[in-house]
Structure 1
Amino acid sequence: MTNMEKNKMTRRNALTAAAALPLATGLTGAGARPAAAQPAQGPQVPRTYRVPLGDFEVTAMMAGTRTVPEPKGTFGLNASDEEFAEVSKAAHIPTDKAQFFFTPTLVNTGSAVILFDTGLDPAGITAAVEAAGYAPEDVTHVVITHMHGDHIGGLSDGGTPTFANAALLTGQEEWNHWTEAGNDTFESKVRPLEDQFSFLGNGEEVAPGITSVLAPGHTPGHMCFMLESGGQKLMLTADLANHYVWSVGKPDWEVRFDMDKELAASSRRKIFGTLAEDKTPFIGYHMPFPAVGYVEAEGDGFRYMPHSYQLLMT
């Protein structure tokens, strides 16, 4: 090695040592001030997730999440404990608790701002809509996929509508059922707004490019909605499936919340079969946030594949 090369090596070593010195001194040097302990801030779930769909802009909104114990009492009622445990282990999820997500969707068509479902309460859905960049008065339509409390809870407060400027729509069959059900949440949240509702049948338009798809079983008139713009499609599946493993993966497993369990399983198979065949993405109200994904046929059921960046590149 020449003297010049030795000098270069010496200078390089000196520079490397000097660069590392502040970090080393800060950690272990004499007289160094110890770093102050900082409490953990806890897990964080994003509030909104926006994707384009042709000329539409679709925003999934986190209106609430909670941990629920003993999921076997809700999902897989007709599965054995052993099978439930085996399927859960394969998906790397626990069997003693599950995380529930509540995800209304906002669709800006360019001429209308349409909210699908209203979450658990007025404060939660208002915060979600504002986090998405809108005010409650900007919402032109509210569509209720079905009348369970976690979908109608934010519709009104003491008879006062949360979205005062919005036209209200729901399925005719769904309305017919709940008006006779004697349900307290329906009576307090929905009944006071009865005169403001319009009703949809299967295959009818909410707005150009947004079509109802009857998917009964979870409730008698439960509806999904197909969005289509610029040659692109995305389906809002609402509560067609309540869990990405125990309902999507096992469509015949009975769910406590499904009013007609056999019919609900049939609806899951029919609609997820079509989505898988057509490679159409969907937003599921209870899927892990941001609740956007795909399905493909696998075994006797389907495999849920979360959206990564596909819709962002169209």
Structure 2
Amino acid sequence: MNTYSFPIGNFSALVISDGGMPVTKEFFFAETPDHLVQGFPANFQAPLNFIHITTDNKNILIDTGFGSRCKDAGQLLHNLAKHGINKYDIDEVILTHGHLDHIGGAVIEGEPSFPNATYYLRIEEWDMWAANKESEEYQILSRLENSITFIHKDVEILPGIKLFLTPGHTDGHLSVMVQSESQRLLIVSDLLNDPSTLNHLSSHIGLEVSPEKGSQTRKAIIDFAKQQGIMLFVCHYPFPGLGFIEDHNNNHKWIPYFKE
């Protein structure tokens, strides 16, 4: 299965697989005790899950996948098309951060992949990549500059769609709160790597810019989601990356959400 549909109040949500990202265990589980991830091979495919939200009159895509930059990924556009959604239909693209598995599909042949969309990016994220203009990440983001609305503070960009800063993985990493009626979904992108490390906050994906700050952010997000009973969406968790965090014997436990 490479797509999964579910409602959030009056909104419609669609999880889309972009394929898989080849990683090493050492990279994907940096600063992680061996006993927590002993079931993982030395090399494996990390899931790449992204999400599309339909509100009353807007099509919103959160991150764009790898595009053609990874032979095992780049399936997002194809899987969107299965649901009758093409690149011209997307009105808003929220870029949670600038790593290639999240922005690689944002540009095709030097032009924005979603020509009618406004792109959203936190200003700290832009500044971080602009400090290294030779990076592939900046080369992609610079092609989008005229289409980007830079976010300077936590903000509700549309009714029920709020962006807020969750730094650590990168300087300007965004999370997204989606709310319609009484239902909420918290999209946390790359703050978490796998359910097996939910109780070890220092575990992180190897590209994390500030693991200490990331650990603090993870604690705040996990505590908030657990206390509020909010469903989370996590990019690299097993498909469809949806679930809840509950207490279990004084530990956090991931409760996957998946209904046929």
Q: Scaled by the length of structure 2, what TM-score is found?
A: 0.91
Is 1:74 equivalent to 2:28 in the alignment? yes
Percent identical pairs in the alignment equals 26
Amino acid at match of 1:178: W
Distance 1:302 1:132, change over 3 A: farther
Aligned equivalent of 1:88: 37
CA distance in 2, matches of 1:265, 1:299: 22
Aligned equivalent of 1:57: 12
1:74 positional shift? 3.3
CA distance in 2, matches of 1:298, 1:262: 25
Which structure: greater helix fraction?
A: 1
Aligned equivalent of 1:99: 45
RMSD (Å), alpha carbons: 2.0
Aligned equivalent of 1:221: 172
CA distance in 2, matches of 1:174, 1:105: 20
Aligned equivalent of 2:255: 305
Check conservation: 2:192, 2:204, Cα contact below 8 A.
Answer: no
CA distance in 2, matches of 1:261, 1:225: 21
Check conservation: 2:133, 2:139, Cα contact below 8 A.
Answer: no
Specify which structure has the bigger relative contact order, considering alpha-carbon pairs within 8 angstroms and separated by 6 or more residues: 2
1:201 positional shift? 3.2
Is 1:266 equivalent to 2:216 in the alignment? yes
CA distance in 2, matches of 1:129, 1:234: 20
Aligned residue pairs, count: 255
Aligned equivalent of 2:55: 109
Q: Scaled by the length of structure 1, what TM-score is found?
A: 0.76
Which structure: greater strand fraction?
A: 2
Is the partner of 1:63 in helix, strand or coil? Answer: strand
CA distance in 1, matches of 2:115, 2:30: 40
Is 1:200 equivalent to 2:155 in the alignment? no
Check conservation: 1:203, 1:213, Cα contact below 8 A.
Answer: yes
Is 1:285 equivalent to 2:235 in the alignment? yes
Aligned equivalent of 2:118: 167
CA distance in 2, matches of 1:236, 1:109: 16
Is 1:257 equivalent to 2:211 in the alignment? no
Distance 1:191 1:212, change over 3 A: same
1:217 positional shift? 0.3
1:87 positional shift? 2.2
Q: Which runs of 5+ in 2 are unaligned?
A: 69-73
Amino acid at match of 2:59: V
Q: Which runs of 5+ in 1 are unaligned?
A: 1-45
1:161 positional shift? 1.4
Bigger-Rg structure (1/2)? 1
CA deviation digits over 1:45-89, x for unaligned, max 9?
Answer: x111010001100111001114534x1343142x4xxx42x2235
CA distance in 2, matches of 1:193, 1:88: 38
CA distance in 2, matches of 1:136, 1:254: 32
CA distance in 1, matches of 2:140, 2:105: 8
1:254 positional shift? 4.4
